[in-house]
Amino acid sequence: MNNFKKLTVYQKSFDLAMEIFEITKKFPKEETYALTSQIRRSSRAICSNLGEAYRKRQYPAHFISKVSDSDMENSETQIWIDFAFACNYINEGVKNKLELKSDEIGRLLFHMIKNPDKYKGKS
């Protein structure tokens, strides 16, 4: 595997970021520089850190560190989802759908962290 964009976790996290982007277009203007920008940034950072991790895969410690950063951003995204729900910007169905996607991404990231050799590629 020589392209991080083919990774299932990358595709799922990219899709989540794009879904969040679409949902946040309806958030109030007063949230533009707070909740809206933060949830967009953290959801996009999941993907961007995966891209960086993939380029570091020949160095297991660096790879794990960058995948861990993706996991951290995924957790942050979950917190912003909670805020969006608490502020009544999304309903419970949307919240649950986003959380399920984020939880799946978290499981895939955990697998990468625990099995870095599977992503090493050919020497």
> What domains can you pick out in the chain, each with its CATH number?
8-115 (1.20.1440.60)
pLDDT tens sequence across 74-119 = 999 999 999 999 999 999 999 999 999 999 999 999 999 999 999 8
Confidence of residue 120 (pLDDT cuts 50, 70, 90): confident
Distance CA 116, CA 67 (A): 10
Closest to 48 measured CA to CA, from 21, 103, 9? 9
Q: Is the pLDDT of residue 48 over 60?
A: yes
Provide the pLDDT for residue 2: 63
Average pLDDT score, the chain: 95
